[in-house]
């Protein structure tokens, strides 16, 4: 009797480990499976310069511009994987955040923030009036981009390729990339009006995020 019971238990254990008749050795394989045989998570999608989902063509500059969120989270301007302006760099502020870039080399010329609520608009005018042909202009709003704007300011941005600056108003969200000497309106611009009916935050519209590839200029004077 003991022999019969022993044989029966042996058969039962073997059946469980081997997966039953015709099952081969799946259970034993699972017990001894290495990490390379285990199910793995889907690999993360690769990100390229400035977090773009795909690389830019040759002779193009990768960029990402993010406006500020209300008056809490500052804007960001990234070019070719280099952060030109951000809260971490401590060079952003209320109003318009502007980075000037050499359109040929892609090198930063200067980056400044201009307070458009309580600042002097003449500081902004002195900054953008003397731009050289081919200079790229990256703009991100934060809190209020327009209270101090006058007609000359709007015309200068319009000449850089903006089509929305003429309608820019108190606490609107605005991101824009233009250039000195462009013949047409820039394809790189987003604008959301401040409206109590559609604002994402109390008193402010949603933040804007824009990315893309800008062709390098062939010459700049």
For 54-95, what is each residue's pLDDT tens digit? 999 999 999 999 999 888 899 999 999 999 999 999 999 999
pTM higher than 0.85: no
Residue 4 has pLDDT above 80, yes or no: no
pLDDT digit string (tens) for 18-42?
Answer: 444 444 444 434 433 444 444 555 6
Q: So what's the pLDDT on residue 196?
A: 83
Distance from chain centroid for Cα 170: 24
Ranges 11-25, 74-88, 133-147, 196-210: which has the least confidence: 11-25
- Please check whether residue 208 is in contact with residue 67, taking contact to mean a CB–CB distance below 8 angstroms: yes
CA distance readout (Å), 160 to 29, 46, 135, 140, 215: 67, 33, 10, 15, 16
pLDDT confidence bin for 201, thresholds 50/70/90: confident
The H-or-E segment that residue 3 falls in is helix 2-18
Torsion angle of the four alpha carbons 116, 119, 121, 123, in this order, in degrees rounded to the nearest 10 = -120
Residue 109 in this model has a pLDDT that exceeds 80: yes
Closest to 49 measured CA to CA, from 28, 63, 70, 32: 63
Q: Which of 96, 108, 99 is nearest to 67 (CA)?
A: 96
Half-sphere exposure of residue 155: CA atoms within 13 angstroms, side-chain side: 5
């Amino acid at each position: 009797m003991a022999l019969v019971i022993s044989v029966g238990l042996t058969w039962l254990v073997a059946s469980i480990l081997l997966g039953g008749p015709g099952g081969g050795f799946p259970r034993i394989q699972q017990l001894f499976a290495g990490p390379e045989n285990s199910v793995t998570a889907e690999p993360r999608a690769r990100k390229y310069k400035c977090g773009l989902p795909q690389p830019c063509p040759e002779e193009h500059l990768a960029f990402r511009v993010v406006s500020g969120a209300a008056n809490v989270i500052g804007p960001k301007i990234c070019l070719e994987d280099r952060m030109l302006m951000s809260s971490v760099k401590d060079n952003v502020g209320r109003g318009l955040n502007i980075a000037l870039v050499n359109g040929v080399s892609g090198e930063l010329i200067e980056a400044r923030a201009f307070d458009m609520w309580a600042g002097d608009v003449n500081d902004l005018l002195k900054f953008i009036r003397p731009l050289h042909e081919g200079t790229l202009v990256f703009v991100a709003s934060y809190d209020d981009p327009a209270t101090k704007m006058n007609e000359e300011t709007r015309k200068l941005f319009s000449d850089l390729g903006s089509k929305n600056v003429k309608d820019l108003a108190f606490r609107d969200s605005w991101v824009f990339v233009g250039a000195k000497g462009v013949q047409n309106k820039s394809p790189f611009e987003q604008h959301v009006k401040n409206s109590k009916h559609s604002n994402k935050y109390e008193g402010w519209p949603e933040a804007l995020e824009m990315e893309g590839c800008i062709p390098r200029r062939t010459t700049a004077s």
